[in-house]
Amino acid sequence: MAKAAEFNNSSVPPREGHTLTGDFRHHSGFHSNFLTHDRDVMVYLPPGYEASENYEDEARRFPVLYLNDGQNLFDTATAFNGVEWGVDETAQRLILSGKIEPLIVVAIYNTGAERIDEYTPTVDPRQKRGGKADLYGRFLIEELKPFIDQNYRTLAGPEFTGLGGSSLGGLVSLYLGLKHPQVFSRLMAMSPSVWWDHWMILNFVERLRAKPTTRIWLDIGSKEGKFTPGVVRQLRDLLLLQGWRLDADLKFLEIRGGQHTEAAWAKRIEPALRFLFPKQRPK
C-alpha cells in the first residue's frame, strides 16, 4: 500500500490568493512504489458529505471521478498559466441544482518532467521517451484508489468510478479506462493526444476484443492542430464500430474555434459532468 501524508479529516482552510470552492482534503507527497516521484492529491467532497455521516442507516456513499493534471482543476494559484478549470465551482453548482449526482473528485497532480512518461502507453520514437502509463495505472489502481476507498465514503465499484483528463491526460485516461473496465467505467477524454506514437490509441481501440460497459466523453477543438481534429473523429468512428452509441454511452463534441488550452477545457466541464454523472431518478 502506498504511503501518504497523515490522513486529515479537516477542511483545507481558505488562503489568500487561492480560489478553492467547497470542502477539500489535501494529501501532500503521496508516495508510490511504482513511480519515481511523490505527488500531491487534492480531494473535493460534495455538498452534504459531512452531513450524510449522521444518517441513522448506512452512511451515504458517493461515486468518484479521478482527474489527471490535478493542479489545474481547482485553483488559479497552482494552475498552468494561472487558468483553472473551475471543476469545484461547476460541481458545486450542478450538485446543488440537482443536475448531477453528488460525487467526489480526486485531483492527481502531475510531476512536471515525469508527466509525459507517466501519461503515455508506449515509447514514441520521435519523442524518444514515454511508455510508463501501465506503471501509472498500477499506482492508480493498486495504491491511490484503495487509499481513497479506505478513507472516504466511496461507491467503489466500476460503475461508479471515472477517470479523466485533457491532452496527454486524456490519452492516458482512454488507454487505462479501456484496458481496465473492471475499475473505471466513466471516461472523460478532452482533446486527447491521439498523435502519440503514430496514433497508437487508434490501433489499441481497434484491437479491443469486446466492448465494455464504459461511458465515454470525447471532445476536440477545431483549432488544436492541423491533423488532430480529424484523427479524433477517426477515434470516434472506431468506437462506434466497436459498439458505442452516440449520445447514449458516447458523447462526441467538436468545438468550432476550440483551442488546446485550460480555458477551453474549463468550458467543457459542465456538459462532461452532466453526461458522465447524470442525476439518477428515484426508484
**What tens digit of pLDDT does each residue of 165-215 get?**
999 999 999 999 999 999 999 999 999 999 999 999 999 999 999 999 999
CA distance 44 to 24: 5
Asked if 214 and 191 touch (Cβ cutoff 8 Å), the reply is no
Cα–Cα distance, 168 to 269 (Å, whole number): 17
The answer on pLDDT for 280 being more than 90 is no
Residue type, 257: G
How far is it, in rounded angstroms, from Cα 136 to Cα 68? 11
Q: How far apart, in whole angstroms, are the C-alpha atoms of residue 75 and residue 18?
A: 6
Give the pLDDT band (50/70/90) at residue 52.
low
| Predicted confidence (pLDDT) per residue in 30-48, tens digit | 999 999 999 999 999 999 9
Q: What is the pLDDT of residue 279?
A: 94
pLDDT higher than threshold 50 for residue 79:
yes
pLDDT of residue 6: 39
What is the C-alpha radius of gyration for the chain, rounded to an integer number of angstroms?
A: 18
Confidence (pLDDT) at 34? 98
User: Does residue 105 carry a pLDDT above 70?
Assistant: yes
Is the model more confident about 166 or about 281?
Answer: 166
128, three cell numbers:
524518444
* Distance (Å, whole) CA 62 – CA 102: 7
Where do the domains of the chain lie, and which CATH numbers do they carry? 23-276 (3.40.50.1820)
